[in-house]
Structure 1
């Protein structure tokens, strides 16, 4: 299957990331095993009806994403970088990425106009579908935030991230409750890295828990609203915060794209 996928991608003259590398990594690689949504638990059926799996070939999970409305999916920019629309298949309505509730195809990919400028910033993207999503009890949109997420509020991360760094995706959707880390504190934790800024939020629970490969682009939800999109971190669950795109910060850009306006907001 891996050889088949590689051959197809070469023929289509694209350079997508390896599905096992769909969480961006900074810093040294730790020795030993590290985790998926480590320390989390399997999500109940219908727990996150907004969750989607992005697959370059149906049956090969690459990244997560979330349903914004019947036409649009939100994810991370690096999840769709160098992909053509034909290689972004959207799987909805399931807790098992290999058992689709429905499959939708991509008409347009819109990375943020300042994606990776500077490096690791503006890592957010929107995917427009070729047809409307049919909503049901297992497939629903998630609301955009009406205010910034606050310290002390519960944030829930969902995804199919691997159970070891650079490992394969989990078969079943998992969930993990995390908390917000003040941005200035997170900035100091990462030695004032230039890869972090006002377009990010940081989340953390404890060592041994966090996002990993395959969780990228996936949703972080608080009070029924989408507050983050998984971006980057050190693999995985090593006692450091995970860094996410701050959805509230990008509201103008998101709304502009949804309305068909190509103006760049940043």
Structure 2
């Protein structure tokens, strides 16, 4: 991390607005992640939002019909009965009882360190299966980690895909609509220093030569890589390789400062144990993640709260008009490359 201090990307509840939540007839949209583009949920069906006591504060990754990965710092000391997983939704105005799933159990990794953010990963067990509009994605097994590392070592660009509803900038707003951006994988030794007590096995790093990247509220979300040897597979070789964990203390999307993601393959066996045996999902994807349209515009005419046929399914207006800035900073990690 070249001497930088990092910030965990959890959001906490205060009274500021979502980007794009001015009014139904005068929408004011801002790109989020940071300098990202809007994306349809059908292109990222594994993406979920986590809501705690009604407030959206993190993202997550569907890895099974009833299992979601997220960051441990998102769910530390959280009562699972106050946590919901929102699946199959790109517009936070569409959150209803039908797509908001209860959590029955939270398994945070036992080695999670709130200071260093080591082992910043947790598994959520859902009360019911994900909706048809959502889909799991495969997680990268340890046997394939060397392929990803080899690609990072030659500095290939635009080989990682990340999405979320996080803030549009360090001092900006959370997004009502799902966003994505594409980043560059960074070699472990370049990022962390090759003698930093093996920290490179805990994290994946990514950066960009442009001011784009993750920000507060994106924590727990998916970092996706495509295996170049598996593009003809039904799932096109897409793997979840990282969980959004932290950014630079200097702010979000500062050029060439690495963002940090928990390396999923390092926790593959733990995940499988907690799931009672992980099986790669049998899914078919047709999207080309690394060549998605960047001019897609969501339907901004919908009101922030819509009624549902089930009755009582809409979340209250204060949920959809509050954003959650980075007031709670759990970690202050200093890593020096040598």
Question: What TM-score bracket applies, with the shorter chain setting the length?
Answer: 0.7 to 0.9
1:237 equivalent in structure 2:
253
2:224 equivalent in structure 1:
221
1:123 equivalent in structure 2:
120
Equivalent of 1:18 in 12, 15, 19: 12
Contact kept, 8 Å, 2:165 with 2:176, in 1: the verdict is yes
List aligned pairs for 1:41-60, cutoff 5 A: 41-58=37-54, 60=55
2:265 equivalent in structure 1:
248
Alpha-carbon distance in structure 1 between the residues aligned to 2:253 and 2:196: 19
Residues 1:94 and 2:89 aligned together: yes
Paired residues in the alignment total: 227
List aligned pairs for 1:37-76, cutoff 5 A: 37-58=33-54, 60-76=55-71
1:157 equivalent in structure 2:
162
Q: Residue 195 of structure 1: CA displacement?
A: 11
1:8 equivalent in structure 2:
none
Change (3 A) 1:184 1:62: same
> Relative to structure 2, which stretch is displaced further, 159-168 or 197-206?
159-168
Question: SS in structure 2 opposite 1:46?
Answer: helix
List aligned pairs for 1:72-221, cutoff 5 A: 72-100=67-95, 102-116=99-113, 119-134=116-131, 136=132, 138-146=133-141, 147-148=144-145, 149=148, 150-151=151-152, 152=156, 154-165=159-170, 167-188=172-193, 196-221=199-224
Contact kept, 8 Å, 1:19 with 1:214, in 2: the verdict is no
Question: SS in structure 2 opposite 1:98?
Answer: helix
RMSD: 2.5
TM-score if structure 1 supplies the norm length?
0.78
Which structure has more relative contact order (CA 8 Å, sep 6+)? It is: 2
Contact kept, 8 Å, 1:41 with 1:175, in 2: the verdict is yes
Structure index of larger Rg: 2
Runs of 4 or more consecutive aligned structure 1 residues displaced over 4 Å after TM superposition: 191-196
Change (3 A) 1:185 1:19: farther
